[in-house]
Copies of this chain bind each other. A is one copy, B any other.
Amino acid sequence: MKPYVIGVDLGGTNTVFGIVDKDGNIIAENSIKTQKYSTADGFVKAGVECLMPIIEQVGGLDKVQGMGIGAPNGNYYKGTIEYAPNLCWGHEGVVPLAQMFSDALGGLGVRLTNDANAAAMGEMRYGAARGMQNFIMLTLGTGVGSGIVINGQLVYGTDGFAGELGHVTMVRGETGRPCGCGRKGCLEAYCSATGVARTAREILLGTNRPSVMREKELDKLEALDVNIAANGGDELAKEIYDKTGEMLGQACADFAAFASPEAFIFFGGLCHAGEMLMKPIRESYDKNVLPIFRGKAKFLVSDLMDKNAAVLGASALGWEA
């Protein structure tokens, strides 16, 4: 086994390349603007140019075991990115990105998965899930993503797209909030950063209750404003976390009926709310879960929140390559 792997966090705005050692230290890092490239070919060429100096820094490609990429709409089985709406070259349809990078890097083994699965891999190898065989990672960012580990393995399903827990239906019927996926009532529509901001706007519009959040223009209100308000003691902002946590607890209760995980691990911007969010999650879970599971699962915030978790997570895939 060679001493390093490459981890790639392919995001809508930036793509970060990192060289990672066996202990999960990021030895070198470089990045490009994802949006600058209108074709996948152009993106790969720029990516390799960006990588070369940091590869040289650790002694060349001979020292690199493999490369792992975490990307939106990534398909683990095929190494493809499929119809990614947030990438400039998403319109190219099914892009064989793993093969393209492999070809450009002298046949280096390259694995690719979606970003939330990469986060779960990182958590399992370097973070809060070390030693766990069964856990569920929920990433609470712009959307709600998930990476599920069962019997020590990532769950990819029959087509490579399993683990879309942001799109279980929490509110059925026409009253459910529209979701970016085209359906209604998804967990993501309520419990993402965007969902939390929307909850705030709904309550501010629907009531006269006082809140420091009213100082901001309603349509510019973001999850961060809710966080600042709640930290300052704003009751309404705290209630928004209560509501959000209540729904997350209900969802986790259903996930427990499926997989009975040892832990639920939360990651992403919303986790900065800390106990203001985690406490209502735990309380709602214990209230809603099947009695046989009550009090068993741990509710943890990612160990990797302050590190470059996405790069680390993707790099963990590089050892498989």
Chain A contacts to B: CB under 8 angstroms: 133-134, 148, 150-151, 153, 155-165, 167-172, 181-183, 250, 253-255, 257-262, 288, 290-293, 296-297
List the number of copies, as a whole number: 2
Closest CB in chain B relative to A87 CB, distance in Å: 16
Closest CB in chain B relative to A206 CB, distance in Å: 19
Closest CB in chain B relative to A202 CB, distance in Å: 18
Asked if A159 and B260 sit within 8 Å, CB to CB, the answer is yes
Q: Specify which of A163, A183, A254, A257 lies most central, judged by the most chain B CB atoms within 10 Å of its CB.
A: A257
Q: Which residues of B contact A156 (CB under 8 A)?
A: 260
Q: Which residues of B contact A151 (CB under 8 A)?
A: 150-151, 153, 155
Task: Please tell me which one of the listed residues B168, B182, B260 contacts residue A158 in the complex, with CB atoms under 8 A apart.
Answer: B260
A287 — nearest CB in chain B belongs to which residue? B183
CA distance A156 to B291 in the complex (A): 17
Asked if A164 and B262 sit within 8 Å, CB to CB, the answer is no
Q: Which residues of B contact A255 (CB under 8 A)?
A: 258
Asked if B165 and A258 sit within 8 Å, CB to CB, the answer is yes
